[in-house]
Structures are given as structure tokens and as C-alpha cells.
Structure 1
Amino acid sequence: MTTVTTPRSTRKLPAEYRGRLMSMAHDVRYSPDTRLFDEGGRADHFWIVESGTVALDLRVPGRRATVIDTLGAGELLGWSWLYQPPVWRFGARTVGPVRAHEFDADAVRRMCQADPEMGRSIALWVGEAVVRRLNAARTRLLDLYAPYGSGARG
């Protein structure tokens, strides 16, 4: 285990649970253009990005994988580990060098089962990331494939 700073993405977790979660982190580094996981693969880890950028992509039949979102410092990478079956719903690759805090999904799930209130807090935290990712995916796919785009005005 390593001593880690508090990523902004975990600030919504109560301090006790945030500390317990971060105590399980392992620091990792990835080179540019490293494939972290593929859609449909077993989701057995997740990360909080410390620095760098990760591109999330989605397979689209008859086309190349489409980047649907990018994640940067402080953001949660990977939510599929929390839901059954634990398979990746998107794919991910590093855009440049990435440093991150990596977590073993099985260990975190066991900790959440042992402390249901912590489990509830983690589920709500991860659920917020799910909503952001699905909204980003919807908007990106509408921009790419709908006749008139998403209609979003910036």
C-alpha cells in the first residue's frame, strides 16, 4: 500500500470511507497508447486517474471504435466492476502517460459487503460516474450518427 493524496472524485465519500478506500490503492503508471481494457472483458480493477488522460471508447458495428469521453486527473476510471456481470461496458486506452491509483475490485466489493453503509456510499459515488459516462456516450453518439447531431448548444 502507498500513501496517496485525496483525489477530488472521492470527496463526495464520507472521510472514513474515503480513507479506507484510498488505503487499498496501488500507484501505477502507463505509457502512452496503452490499452487498459476492452469492452466485454472482465472488470476486475478500477482506477482513479492521478495525471494524464484516458480515452473511453465504444465499439460501433461496421466502424472503428468511437471515443465517447476522455477522463483526466481526479476522475474515476471503471465502474463496471460494481455491477453484475462485472464486464467492461466500454474500452479504455491512455492518450499520453498516465499515473493512477489502482484498486482490486474484489477486495473493494468484500469491504463494501462487510460494511453495508460503506457499500451504499461507494455505490452512490460510482453511480454518479455511471450517469456522467452514459450521458457523455449518448451525446457523443448523437453528434456522430444522428442526422442533426445532439442539438446541444454550447
Structure 2
Amino acid sequence: MSTPSPTRISEALSADCRSRLMELAHEVNFEEGTRLFREGGHADAERVRTLMDADTAFGSALGHWVGQVLADRLQAARVRLLDLYAP
């Protein structure tokens, strides 16, 4: 039996939090090779940050989820590096 990943947005955030994020979402398309971010630049997330500041419970839940995603990805990268370079 597998347990749901805590980094899945559907498992980590309540339905209310997810619906608030979806209200801001819109579909975008990029040509192949398009650079989405530049080093030192900022992602376009002002509306999300405004929501997080206005509702501390929402902000805490979203911040915790993002932190968990980053921690999981860093751990996965560490394991891959150990597999490649460990004696």
C-alpha cells in the first residue's frame, strides 16, 4: 500500500486553498527553448504573495507546501549524487 505524497498539492492543501490558487491560474504556452526565468530575476507571483499576506492560514499552508516540495527535491538530488559519486 502506498501513501499519498505530502508534496502533491491535492494532498497538502485544502480544497479552499486549491480553489483560491486556481482562481489565479491561466493556461500559457511557450515556444520550445523559451527562457522562463533569468538568474536573479523574480517569478510573477505578486497576486499569490498578496493572498498569502492577506490570509495567514493560507500563506502558512502554501509556504509549508513549497518548503516540503523543495526539501523533497533536494533530498532526491542528494540521493542521485550519492549514487553517482559515493565510493
For normalisation by structure 1, the TM-score amounts to 0.45
| Secondary structure at 1:113 match in 2 | helix
Answering whether residue 14 of structure 2 is matched by residue 9 of structure 1, we say: no
- Residue 54 of structure 2 is aligned to residue 114 of structure 1: yes
| Higher RCO (CA 8 Å, separation ≥ 6 residues) | 2
Q: 1:147 Cα shift?
A: 4.4
Q: Percent identity?
A: 43
**Correspondence for 1:124 among 64, 72, 84:** 64
Q: Deviations over 1:31-83 (max 9, x none)?
A: 44433335x33231xxxxxxxxxxxxxxxxxxxxxxxxxxxxxxxxxxxxxxx
Pairwise CA RMSD:
2.2
Q: Which runs of 4+ in 1 moved over 3 A?
A: 31-35
Measure the CA separation in 2 of the matches of 1:139 and 1:10.
Answer: 23
State the one-letter code of the partner of 2:27.
D
Q: Following the alignment from structure 1 to structure 2, what is the Cα–Cα distance between the partners of residues 24 and 43?
A: 18
- Which of the pair is proportionally richer in helix? 2
- Tell me which protein shows more strand as a share of its residues: 1
Give the structure-2-normalised TM-score.
0.73
Q: Tell me the residue number matched to 2:81.
A: 141
5+ residue gaps, structure 2, are 1-6
Corresponding position of 2:29: 29
- 1:142/1:37 CA distance change after superposition, 3 Å: farther
